[in-house]
Structure 1
Amino acid sequence: MPSHHDAGSLYSSHHGWLHNWLWRKIGCRDGAADIAHDTFVRVLDAGALGVLREPRAYLSTIASGLLVNHWRRLTLERAYLEALAQQDQAVAASPEERALVIEALMQVDAMLNQLSPKAREAFLLSQLDGLTYAAIATRLQVSERMVKKYMAQAMLQCLLIANG
């Protein structure tokens, strides 16, 4: 179990560097501060303080993953806001509804990233394009049985999100 001294030492030795590194990547001091904070929380949760040989490499690896999530969220948010802009003002969502939708989109995006590329494509072809399993099988050049397996994998991921 890491001591508070180890955590404090890691934080005081590397927080400034990490914050500046993140700030150069995203150009926003507040966003960099948030991601730096989340990085240190992940380090503490992992319980790896006592065995860190290259703390900056470890911190930058964790922060890079969080940056990818940050950019993915921004991309989804922009796409959602563009879709909203196309809607009639009478059906405009409240800020709370927007936040809930964006969070749901992030969960779906995370679920899709858990799938293999073909399983992801099969799921999207089924759910977004309404293709039958036979049509998906033809398009992906796999058997219908394989499409059923892909869909089962996707549905399992959906259930995990719904229950998690």
Structure 2
Amino acid sequence: MSTSHTLSHDAIGELYLGHHGYLLNWLRHKLGCRQQAADLAQDTFIKLLNHRQRHNQPLDIREPRAYLTTVAGRLVKDHYRRQSLETAYQEALAALPERHYPSAETQHLIREALYELDAILERLKPKVRQAFLLSQLDGLTYAAIAEQLDVNLRTVKRYMATAFEECIMVMA
């Protein structure tokens, strides 16, 4: 089915009616869980609605199923990454002495900060992300990072400036 859809409210409704079942089955196969598949299918269409609200010009979709599976595939990737982060966070909490265990509110704030940081890191190019993590987590100097990544010092400085700019944009 390769009819073209422009992203209007009615077109999203048509996409939903015509392709929700297909997308749900695709996601169910990917995730192995009916409930998660249903949630991510809804999230896919919400993303389309949000896109329509943010942009004044309509998006022309020539291959609806390919487009929907691309958007949903990104959401699946985000889902697994978030699940991995949650597991790592729970393991870190379990290792804490009981007297240092954060309150439920603090845990929520920490989770949100982790998800936000993960989103920032995901937007960075791999070498930029690696340089940033080597600096911020491993405490390496820029010279040591340059040696490890086999780039010059100027490139490391550019990588770090890019990473910090991304962080600042999120904070603004």
Identify the TM-score tier after normalising by the shorter chain: 0.7 to 0.9
Pairing 1:14–2:19 present: yes
Question: In the superposition, relative to structure 1, how do residues 129 and 25 fare at CA in structure 2: closer, same or farther (>3 Å)?
Answer: same
Task: Specify which structure has the bigger relative contact order, considering alpha-carbon pairs within 8 angstroms and separated by 6 or more residues.
Answer: 2
TM-score, structure 1 as length reference: 0.87
Identity %: 52
Offset at 1:100? 2.4
Offset at 1:9? 2.3
TM-score, structure 2 as length reference: 0.83
Pairing 1:28–2:12 present: no
One of 55, 71, 86 as aligned partner of 1:77: 86
By percentage of residues, which structure has more helix?
A: 1
Offset at 1:50? 7.4
Offset at 1:71? 0.5
Name the counterpart of 2:47: 42
Name the counterpart of 1:104: 113
User: Gapped runs of 5+ residues in structure 2?
Assistant: 1-5
Cα RMSD between the aligned structures?
Answer: 2.1
CA contact (8 A) 2:9 2:49 kept: no
Name the counterpart of 2:128: 119
Question: In the superposition, relative to structure 1, how do residues 21 and 147 fare at CA in structure 2: closer, same or farther (>3 Å)?
Answer: same
CA contact (8 A) 1:7 1:49 kept: no
Question: In the superposition, relative to structure 1, how do residues 149 and 7 fare at CA in structure 2: closer, same or farther (>3 Å)?
Answer: closer
One of 54, 64, 75 as aligned partner of 2:63: 54
Equivalences, count: 163
CA contact (8 A) 2:7 2:61 kept: no
User: Gapped runs of 5+ residues in structure 1?
Assistant: none
Pairing 1:149–2:154 present: no
Offset at 1:146? 1.8
Question: In the superposition, relative to structure 1, how do residues 133 and 7 fare at CA in structure 2: closer, same or farther (>3 Å)?
Answer: closer
Offset at 1:49? 7.5
The alignment partner of 2:151 has SS state of coil
Moved over 3 A (4+): 1-5, 45-51
